[in-house]
Chain A
């Protein structure tokens, strides 16, 4: 079973939920940190490194001795990564998606592909948990190729994925082909607004999902009524407890700092398994 933890808004508690879910599982599992721009899961686990793997995408390398400056490659490139002024084109690696089109359209066979590094995958182990974390290189624009590479490492029966914030390409790359999405939100106007956007995306892709309300309060007149009206399952509520914030600040998982919350996450995992 593949479970993704996502949110729309950042800072609502995705990593907290993902980590504590992983620690509550009674079986070996993989935790995939797909928030490759800002991976944080490793901060909460004492891990032993296993291996590292550099991730690359193919980008064009132009042989100036063969190029006659016809400009067909730059005309073809949908991402404006090649700019030609009747000369050998200038290549902007940050714009390149690695589609290979320029190489195929070049009539002089002047373009070959070389591998360009976009980031690294670090695999480590902590008890039952194998953490697979993507880390995008600074200045690299496109996260999806690295996210796809992280997802390719999935091989255990239970997979928990920590998604990036937002609702655009990196989130979609993470959510494709998962069995269930846990959307973490808070009872604030910003969080509710972004939860609705995330639900739009999850429904568009056609995935099953449920909501976890973090920093829940008694007088929540935002998220709870919304979920009830929309008939969305509230899987769990994590109370607004300053001790949780303090343990989070230090990188200590809730269920280690405050064992009384262990049942909450065991039940959450159980509910997800039933719903998925």
Chain B
């Protein structure tokens, strides 16, 4: 079983376009969209939803005004500035929880001398199992301003893994989030390998270095490809050198291609069109499969 995560560090370098094309080329991989707070893969793969599940995760404190005596202990103890104080016309204070700042730690709940604080489980979004023309897909939608995106990512991965086992599927393709923080760590921890797609810009190179440090930190094999490589061929070369010296394997280059947006508008993966970059993506895919083959033979 191969669990392949496509990430980038920097956003907007082409993760989702690459995953959609990989999905078409793989034919029957299980697909997982782990960019749960800005998911886009569904815009190309137009899933038919088969199952929807609520995602309950974490808690939120709520102060019952009738019981609260306004001692302010909760505000003193809260490390997240989530308790707001209001002075009443009579000169005493009332307290309430700012739901957006509340991290759901439960300290105020536990130490309220009047037990005036409720601790309610939170609905933080939903996750779905769908059918697409490229195979089964697990995807999610984080609630508006909701927390626990890392846990939702973990849930999506876990479900994809379950589906893959049930259907004896050998490959899971994961569309990862940008950055290097919580949702990315949740998306890559324990995965078989990551494919990093970057671009030849100072920002792309800077962010690639950090994401390679991350994959090294978690000991995950990394592959790198450079999108829009011809915008700056010198920097593409530098990036490839830098990535190779960090222990990553270079998969290839994708040419600058403004018909990619047209493919998006036509609801097609790039490899489903005659876009000039489609061949580059096919070559990258074949190279990745070739690596898997070599690896298999080694074992």
Residues on A lying within 8 angstroms of B by beta carbon are: 8-12, 15, 35, 37-38, 40, 43, 58, 76, 78-79, 94, 97-101, 104-105, 136, 138-143, 164-172, 176, 188-190, 193-194, 197, 200-201, 204-205, 245-246, 248-251
Contact = CB atoms under 8 A, between A and B. Distances in A.
Interface stretch (B209-217, B271-279, B290-298): B209-217
B237 to A, nearest CB: 14
B40 A193 contact: yes
B232 A246 contact: yes
Contacts, number: 179
A1 B201 CA distance: 31
A25 to B, nearest CB: 22
B254 to A, nearest CB: 15
B105 interface: yes
Interface of B: 8-13, 16, 35-38, 40, 43, 58-59, 77, 79-80, 100-101, 103-107, 110-111, 142, 144-147, 149-150, 177-185, 199-203, 206-207, 210, 213-214, 217-218, 231-232, 235, 261, 264-265
A250 B213 contact: no
28 contacts: A9-B12, A11-B178, A12-B11, A40-B10, A78-B58, A99-B106, A100-B79, A136-B180, A138-B180, A138-B217, A139-B185, A142-B182, A143-B182, A164-B179, A165-B11, A166-B38, A168-B146, A168-B147, A188-B261, A189-B265, A190-B43, A201-B144, A201-B145, A204-B145, A246-B232, A248-B203, A249-B201, A250-B201
Contacts of B149: 166, 168-169
A38 B206 CA distance: 8
A141 B188 CA distance: 12
B106 A37 contact: no
Given A40-B207, A188-B264, 18 more contacts: A8-B38, A9-B38, A10-B178, A11-B178, A12-B11, A38-B180, A99-B106, A139-B185, A140-B181, A142-B181, A165-B38, A165-B179, A168-B147, A188-B265, A190-B40, A193-B38, A249-B199, A250-B202
List 8 tightest A-B contacts by C-beta distance, closest first. Answer: A10-B11, A11-B12, A99-B105, A37-B179, A251-B202, A165-B11, A168-B149, A249-B201
A19 B144 CA distance: 28
Nearest to B13: A11
Nearest to A248: B201
B187 to A, nearest CB: 12
Contact of B105 (A12, A38, A79, A248): A79
B185 A94 contact: yes
A168 B202 contact: no
B264 A190 contact: yes
B134 to A, nearest CB: 17
Given A78-B58, A99-B105, A246 B12 contact: no
* Best-buried of B9, B13, B217, B261 by chain A (most CB within 10 Å): B261
Given A138-B213, A197-B37, A37 B11 contact: no
A10 B36 CA distance: 13
Contacts of A194: 38, 40
Contacts of A98: 79
B10 A10 contact: yes
Contact of B107 (A101, A165, A167, A204): A101
Given A11-B11, A99-B79, A168-B183, A245 B231 contact: yes
Contacts of B235: 249
A98 B202 CA distance: 35
Contact of B10 (A38, A105, A136): A38
